[in-house]
Structure 1
Amino acid sequence: MKAILQWFKNRAGFFKTVFVISVLFIVISELLSIGKTISFEQLKMIFLDLPIWKIALMLLTGLVAVTPMFGYDIILNRTLEQKIKKSYLFETSWMINTINNIAGFGGLISIGLRSEFYGKETDGKKVVKALSKILIFLLSGLSIYSLLSFIMVLFGHDNGFLSQYSIWLIGGGLYFPIILLLTAIRKDEYIGDIPLNSRLQLMLTSFLEWTGVLATFLLIGKLMGIPFHTAQVIPLFIAASVIGIISMIPGALGSFDIMMILGLSSLGSIPRETVIAWLLLYRLFYYIIPFLIGVVFFLKNLSSNLNDRYSGIPRELSIELSHKLLVVLMYFSGIMIVLSTTIPEAFNQFHWLKQLNPWSFHLLTQFPAVLLGFSLLIMGRGIAARVARAYLPTIGLLLLTLAYTVFKDMSWSVVILLTLLLIFVIFSKKELYRKQLVYSWEMKTVDGIIFSVLMVLYVVIGVYNLPAFPHHQHHVISFFLFPSERVWLSGFLGILITAMFMFVFIRYLQGEKRTIGEALDRDRAMKLLKTYGGNTDSQLLFLDDKDMYVYTNSFEEETVLLQFKTFNNKCIVMGDPSGAKEDFTDAVEQFIHEADIWGYLPVFYEVSESLVLLLHEFGYDFIKMGEEAHVDLANFTLSGKKRRADRATMNRFDKEDYRFEVLSPPFLPETMAELKAVSDEWLGNRKEKGFSLGFFSEEYLQLSDIAVVKSKADDIIAFATIMPTYNKAEGTIDLMRYKQDAPSGVMDFLFISIFNVMKEDGISYFNMGMAPLSNVGTSRKSFIQERIAFLVYKFGTSFYSFQGLRAYKNKYASSWVPRYTLYSRDSSIIYVMIALLIIDNAPIDKTTKQLHGIKKILKNRYQR
């Protein structure tokens, strides 16, 4: 015997799985069977005849009737000495009891489910003992009602039909006293040994359970206006229930219904069709709807278990999927409603189109239909953008639409769709976390296409239907014809009102239009760079054409600095972060999170490979933007055949008495004026550009050394600003300017002289800057994003010329280091590249240059 028990114990997991699958199979089978007995057309007719308050009362009664069964689970957990959360007890008890109502089998299903949900942390033998004590009292309430029903038949008015079921009532009535006697006499640990207090509570629970069942059935009949004698219906109902349970047919389906139809038809003048409708509503409100709620609880508990087992991934995936499905349904519904009002006859002529659209002809007039359709599209935008402000308006719109559908033109397909939308909205609430909507180009493109096509289609068809339009000269597609101009006009009025509503709602979603980061604070930025170091892009921050984002570590120290510019919904970060490398990960994560909360998408422009690996972990895609030329200063020399031309250039400039000098700030006004004259001559009619390049700004130039080439007359003919990198590893320059009459090779002379100076200062290598699109998108096997980027830049050459740049830098480069741009997967690569072109090639006017280095007091920073 022990061996057999051990064999079952070793395979407990397998048997549990078989049990759960069996229950699911039984439940699905019974739902299909019940579904066959339910006529949705008949339900529709019944609901149309009943006031909404009666339907609500039926629903409330059916839900309340389930609650007494919680007592079984409360007593069970108290017997097992378990303390579980009230919410878990409520959900699991509801689920177990409603499944048992559908599945039946004399309560055996509920015992198995209770063992699964409440017996995991307890000894198996103890669970079996507790469950056996619960099981025997499950039918005590029905037994009490059987005795009462027998008395009612015996002493009440009976036409002979009920008396034939007296034997079933007597048999059912004997169950309660027999169980009461057995539990009092026997002292074994399975049936006996039940405290009197627990026995009374179990009997009361069972009695209240069957009181709820009986009350639901009777109240539904009364609300339907059916005339019947309660004293006759109660015995019939109880006898039918006893027969159904003894047969162990799931849900007593079939035997219960047949007996009730025959019995109620013979007891009075109730038509059979009315009895069927009565039973239909009873099954709907006591069985189906509570069971569906139980399914929701089941899925919630199942998802929680799976979520705990797999580190939260299932919940994230389900919420993401629910959100995407919600967006699709919102847009689909909105488009279909507008189309059904624009070309209504198309939904009559094409059966597949009518099947696809649950909204057709269920909204009474053109005006509310158009208004509703476009409103759903607008709400869909807020949901798609994950804006928290869209949650309550979307719930309100769906409830309003649901109420309109129920009261005006009842349609089960629309009710089901709206209910699904409501569920998805509620389930997706955690996905609606953004504090504002930043209406991006991507959003405007999608919405613009949808709205424009629908509006233009509506207007064009309206014009086409004007009486003055010569239809006889054209082949007219019949479904383009409106029933009347008045119908079209009401819809057009709806479009105009919706357009105003769209503007107001988009503005509402935008909130306070807050940006992230802060304006340049020179002192804080300089302190951070000098303390923790920077890179070849750090100095660009002091152009003051960008904002800064400062990360503070756990010790309240500012350790990392990012410089970026906000354009549309994109925060374009220039280069790698500056500061303490050990905090880069936390700083970047915090920056991405804050940007996401406020509706922005960071784009990291011209960053190194190390940042690519970091950002890829945050779900960013990347494209190669080009390569950066590095000169190995330690090994740089002019000796050798390869450098013969460079030696000749240096010798020529020495013979002609050109001098190289490094000037240090502060610079005198005369020096600055001379540098500006060189810069203006070099620029000619061209405009200064900023962001990733320095421009001539006195405040900016006063922050760094400047390498100059002077003529014999001591005039500056060329200069380059030496950009501080705040580290000894690399050096670089920023502005490079020369006069038009400067001798050829002046920039070579300037570069080589800078190489020599930096080599003497112990700098490891010189960064000559980017060669954009160097080896990018040229192969047929390249990423499609890089191919697209290549095309965008190809057509953007009118803004900036890249030709010959790599060839020139290659003369000195010891190595080429790739640089990348990373962007969120929610961004369109085309719009990312356009944004980069605009922001990186935007001209700097004189007014802007005068403002750089000065606090922009008048700028609207109060929002931040």
Structure 2
Amino acid sequence: MVAVTVALVVLGIDAMEALTREMTFGAVHGALHALQPSRIAIAIALTAGSYLALTFYDVLALRIVGRPLPWRTAALASFTSYTLSHNLGLSLLTGGSARYRIYTRAGLDAADIARVIAVASATFWTGIVTIAGAALMVRPGALALGGLVLAPVVLHGLGALVLALTVALVGLCARVRGPLRVWRLSLPLPSAAQATAQIGIALLDTGAAAAALFVLVPDAMPSLLPAFVLAYALGVVAAAVTHVPGGIGVFEAVVLALLPGDRTIILAALVAYRVIYYLLPLGIAILLLVLCEGARYRGWAARRLNEGREAAGGIAPPLMAVASVLGGAMLLLSGSLPALTARMGVLAAIVPLPFIEASHIAASLVGTGLLLLAPGLYRRLDGAFVAVRALLIAGALFSLAKGIDYEEAAVCLALVGLLQWTRAAFYRHTALTHTPLSGAWLAMLAALMAGVTWIGFFAYRHVPYDDALWWRFAWTGDAPRFLRATLAAAVLLTAAALWRWLGPTPAIVTTPADPGAIAAVLMRADRTDAMLALTGDKRFLLAEDAQAMLMYQLRGATWVVMGDPIGEVAAWPALLWRIRDMADRAQGRLLLYQVTAPVLELAIGMGLNIVKYGEEAIVDLAELTFDTPRLRSLRKAERAAARRGLTFRIVPAGAVPVVLDELEAVSGEWMQAKGHGEKGFSLGHFDRDYISRFDVALAMEGTRIVAFANLWLTANRREASVDLMRHRADAPHGAMDFLFYHIINWAQARGYARFSLGIAPLSGIAGRRLAPAWARAAALIFRHGERFYGFRGLRAYKEKFAPRWEPRYIAGPRGLALVQALRDLSLLVGSVPVAHDQVVIPGSASTHAPKARAAA
């Protein structure tokens, strides 16, 4: 998509070059200044009418989906959404985010917002297509599209076909009841009256927008209005299909190619139209939303609410990022255009020429810096806030120093004021060097630079270019100043791109945990999965009173917390909010993995999305008796293995080094038979130091070990479990059943309350028709994914022990971010463990070793 967008930008510039070859900047400038104020006022009024009609897109869409809201709420969402998407393109990421922010406050969920966007988009496209069909019907003469010439009869036939399809669409809405279903997606259909209203609103919007362009062409006759409407509609379609930000170049090229008349006057009208219909509403939208968000943040500061939770969803940072891009583009564009002669005469009497030359280059560098720092504002970095504020102030000063461009200085200072108003939204203390510059963002900047450069060459088309021009310094040397400023900006942009691709990846530094404090918390653990703290591949976050902790690891931009926090339950909320805040400030996403029901309320309060991961099999040892019909198959397997000569033995942690070589041989044989490597993070791995920390249960054939499992035992005897379970390839049938039988019996005899058989992933997830999409997908994988992983077989094996099943969950970000987080999780679990905070428990090899040795 990046490559296609860049290619389309290049093609658009090439088309503009061909269409404007006979024009001069002076002629366009003169035509622009010749526009009568009355025509500009009418164009502004028609623009207001078009955006007023746009607001009813959302009003009608909300009624169609059954979630009506007051007009003022729908109008704010619609206006801000369309101004952003009109100027930036990528409507789902720009306009969609504005709608999401406003509508979630109004009580709509993500599914309803998606339906509103879909219905509003359908209304917009229906209007564009319908008005294009009507224009084709009444347009006189042939239409030339490049080398293709369409005769009037063809145009009228196409127009009639489009209008017939529109009528058929309304008839379909009148006949069909219920939602439209595409695979498993449902979209409510409007009634015939609502469909007619949609088309009417869209015609008003599109007609007013096209008329705003029409009135800006002084010599346009009323008979040319159908041609203007058709050119406008096709230009909008081309801009939307190509995904070029704002359709810059593409929209203008299509309109210039299709409209008859003086192209110089039409280009001047297009420039004025771009300012009136695109930039002016965008400025109003940014002002409205930033003032609204700023007031909200200031109220938040007064109430001292949680900063990370309140600011994480704000729309002020992305809006100020857009404003930074516009400010940077304004400074770059100003550096590409001639200065006003009268102002330069005044300036010449005040400052020397070298100061003006340096200010011209500096202003373009400031513009490039604003473009490069915009992602930092989007990510709410306080460093980006400070840097952009300083650059805007510098841009205002350089604008005055290079040509008394007080209009640009006023815009820069206004942006400084808006930025300062939303100061509380920029709270992350991550270094600016940690801000990623994506390839797509750099491509967009390159496309913008290419467009600005073309405008500069268009403005100085009459200048004879030679090498000496680079070194020409004069009061009237606008073309040399343009070349030098463009080169400086291009060098800065190239350096940023090289730093992005070749520079080192910054690492997030965390404070090493105190092994003694971790060991003390592990002594309070109620669950055996707390022993994953000893694998050596975790980072730790301790409560302020060191009575609780959680373990986590970073993979990509994802902060994965392993299981529930450990220790005092009262400290869990503070720990989870701290890790939430740490991930947020580091521009990361938080994922809670394999958490239990007590954590759900906290996760929901933190704004995380809850997904069921599977179920854990628990055997209550206090009530267990093997003499029941449900455990008959287990008893039979144990007796058969015993008859083959298997015996059971527990090796205390202190004696494990004696049998370690043989355990490693068994593990290696098991790994080779399975054909995969060690896992990490959520599982233990065979490491000699790690295995030596735990008591080990053995199944022996004479003096030969045929199977083993290292034991996880809580110090308070609340739970027992096993970690690694490995056997030889020639182990007798039922060896693992034999081992489990005796481990459970051993734990029961020593007073442990329960025994965990581990988790069955994707188990217990209902895939019913009305269930969420993720639940239906999980149930499908559980039923049919046996060839990739033994989901059903694993649950069936654990069922032999007649356990009760407790749900386990994943809590993470919403939308596509959850998919990215799960991808990082799979890479983390599947990777070879890398030691981080190795925990050495003072005084013993295991948290429970003394008691275990005594029991043995």
What do the CA deviations read for 1:93-123 (whole angstroms, capped 9, x no partner)?
xxxxxxxxxxxxxxxxxxxxxxxxxxxxxxx
Aligned to 1:587: 575
Q: State yes or no: 1:499 paired with 2:499.
A: no
Task: Give the fraction of aligned pairs with identical amino acids, expressed as a percent.
Answer: 25
Q: Paired residue for 1:606? A: 594
Give runs of aligned pairs for residues 108-257 of structure 1, distance below 5 A.
none
1:703 is aligned to 693
Residue deviations 1:462-490 (CA, integer Å, cap 9, x gap): 99x99xxxxxxxxxxx99x9999997897
Q: 1:375, 1:502 within 8 Å by CA — same for their partners in 2?
A: no
Query: Are residues 385 and 437 of structure 1, via their aligned partners in 2, closer, same or farther at CA, if it must alter by over 3 Å?
Result: farther
**Deviation at 1:408?**
4.1
Query: How far is the alpha carbon of 1:608 from its aligned partner?
Result: 0.9
Q: 1:758 maps to which residue?
A: 747
On the 8 A contact 1:535/1:727 being kept in 2, the answer is no
Matches within 5 A, 1:20-31: none
Structure 1 counterpart of 2:391, one-letter code: L
User: Which of 682, 691, 704 lines up with 2:670 in the alignment?
Assistant: 682
On the 8 A contact 1:732/1:767 being kept in 2, the answer is yes
For residue 541 of structure 2, what is the aligned residue in structure 1? 549
Aligned partners of 2:824 and 2:529: how far apart in 1? Answer: 20
Given that residues 319 and 431 in structure 1 are in contact (C-alpha distance below 8 angstroms), is that contact kept between their aligned partners in structure 2?
no
Helix, strand or coil for the counterpart of 2:528?
Answer: coil
Tell whether 2:715 aligns with 1:715: no
1: CA distance between counterparts of 2:423 and 2:562?
34
Residue of structure 1 equivalent to 2:228: none
> What is the letter of the counterpart of residue 572 of structure 2?
F
Residues 341 and 401 from structure 1, CA distance in 2 versus in 1: closer, same or farther, beyond 3 angstroms?
Answer: closer
Deviates more, 1:798-807 or 1:654-663: 798-807
Q: By how many angstroms is 1:335 displaced?
A: 6.6
Q: 2:397 aligns with which of 386, 397, 403?
A: 403
Residues 124-523 of structure 1 aligned to structure 2 (within 5 Å): 320-334=314-328, 371-408=365-402, 414-415=408-409, 417-437=411-431, 444=436, 447-455=438-446, 491=486, 494-501=489-496, 514-519=508-513, 521-523=514-516
Equivalent residue for 1:731, pick from 711, 717, 720: 720
1:828 and 2:836 correspond: no
Q: For residue 688 of structure 2, what is the amino acid of its counterpart?
A: E
Q: Which amino acid aligns with 2:396?
A: L
Q: How does 1:767-782 map to 2 (within 5 A)?
A: 767-776=756-765, 778-779=767-768, 781-782=770-771
> How far, CA to CA, are the matches of 1:842 and 1:404 in structure 2?
52
Partner secondary structure for residue 740 of structure 2: helix
Contact 1:385 1:437 survives alignment (8 Å): no
C-alpha deviations, 1:223-258, integer Å up to 9, x for none? xxxxxxxxxxxxxxxxxxxxxxxxxxxxxxxxxxxx
**Is the CA contact 2:619–2:802 (under 8 Å) kept in the aligned structure 1?**
yes
Shift of 1:585: 1.9
Partners of 2:807 and 2:359 in 1: how far apart?
A: 62
Q: Aligned in 2, Cα 1:600/1:412: closer, same or farther, shift over 3 Å? A: same
Instruction: Give 1:526's aligned amino acid.
Output: A
Pick closer, same or farther for the CA change 1:508–1:644 going to 2, 3 Å: closer
Opposite residue 800 of structure 2, the aligned amino acid is: K
Given that 1:515 and 1:598 are in contact with CA atoms closer than 8 Å, whether structure 2 keeps it comes out as no
CA gap 1:661/1:432 in 2 versus in 1, 3 angstroms: same
Q: Measure how far apart 1:664 and its partner are.
A: 1.0
Q: Pick from 528, 533, 539: which aligns with 2:531?
A: 539
CA deviation string 1:739-791 (max 9, x = no partner): 01112222122122222222222333221112222345845544456678899
- Structure-1 separation of matches of 2:501 and 2:377: 12
CA distance in 2, matches of 1:342, 1:707: 77
Structure 2 residue 835 is the aligned partner of structure 1 residue 840 = no
Residue number in structure 1 paired with 2:469: none
Change (3 A) 1:752 1:316: closer
Letter in 1 for 2:731: A
1:681 to partner: Cα distance = 0.6
Which residue number in structure 2 is paired with residue 566 of structure 1? 554
- Which gives a bigger RCO, structure 1 or 2 (Cα 8 Å, sep 6+)? 2
Amino acid at match of 2:521: L
- Contact 2:718/2:752 (CA < 8 Å) preserved in 1? yes
TM-score of the two chains, using structure 1 as the length reference: 0.51
Could you say what secondary structure the match of 1:828 adopts? Answer: helix
Q: Are residues 307 and 632 of structure 1, via their aligned partners in 2, closer, same or farther at CA, if it must alter by over 3 Å?
A: closer
Cα deviation, 1:176-204, whole Å, max 9, x if unaligned, reads: xxxxxxxxxxxxxxxxxxxxxxxxxxxxx
Q: Which residue in the other structure is 2:732 paired with?
A: 743
Aligned pairs, number:
518
Corresponding residue number in structure 2 for 1:694: 684
Q: Which deviates more from structure 2 when the two are superposed, residues 692-701 or residues 533-542?
A: 533-542
* 1:789–1:830 contact (8 Å) kept in structure 2: no
Identify which range, 300-309 or 678-687, moves more after superposition: 300-309
Structure 2 counterparts to residues 632-711 of structure 1, below 5 A = 632-684=620-672, 685-711=675-701
The alpha-carbon deviation at position 637 of structure 1 amounts to 3.6
Whole-angstrom distance in 2 between the partners of 1:714 and 1:799: 36
SS of the residue 1:804 aligns to: helix
Please state how far the C-alpha of 1:523 moved relative to its aligned partner: 3.0
Letter in 2 for 1:653: A
Mark the runs of 5 or more structure 2 residues left unpaired by the alignment: 1-32, 35-287, 339-356, 467-481, 842-856
TM-score, length-normalised on structure 2? 0.52
Q: Distance in 2 between matches of 1:307 and 1:850?
A: 38
Could you tell me which of 598, 622, 625 is aligned with 2:613? 625
From the superposition, tell whether residues 340 and 643 of structure 1 become closer, same or farther in structure 2 (CA, over 3 Å).
farther
Question: In the superposition, relative to structure 1, how do residues 369 and 407 fare at CA in structure 2: closer, same or farther (>3 Å)?
Answer: closer
> 1:799 & 1:569 partners in 2: Cα distance?
27
SS at match of 1:645: helix
Cα distance in 2 for partners of 1:718, 1:777 equals 36
Match of 1:666, SS state, is helix
> Do 1:338 and 1:369's aligned partners in 2 also have CA atoms closer than 8 Å?
yes
CA distance in 1, matches of 2:779, 2:358: 53
Distance 1:488 1:797 in 2: 64
Deviates further, 319-328 or 812-821: 319-328
> Over residues 131-167 of structure 1, what are the superposed CA-to-partner deviations in whole Å (9 max), with x where a residue is unaligned?
xxxxxxxxxxxxxxxxxxxxxxxxxxxxxxxxxxxxx
Where does residue 522 of structure 2 map in the other structure? 529
CA distance in 2 between partners of 1:576 and 1:527 (Å): 17
Letter paired with 1:627: E
Q: Pick one of 805, 811, 823 that aligns with 2:800.
A: 811
Q: In structure 1, how many angstroms separate the alpha carbons of the residues matched to 2:463 and 2:762?
A: 59
Q: Give the 3-state SS of the residue equivalent to 1:667 in structure 2.
A: helix
Distance (Å, rounded) in 2 between the aligned partners of 1:439 and 1:645: 61
Query: Residues 639 and 461 (structure 1 numbering): CA distance in 2 closer, same or farther, change over 3 Å?
Result: farther
Evaluate the alpha carbon distance shift between residue 671 and residue 389 of structure 1 in structure 2; reply closer, same or farther with a 3 A threshold: same
Q: Which amino acid aligns with 2:494?
A: A
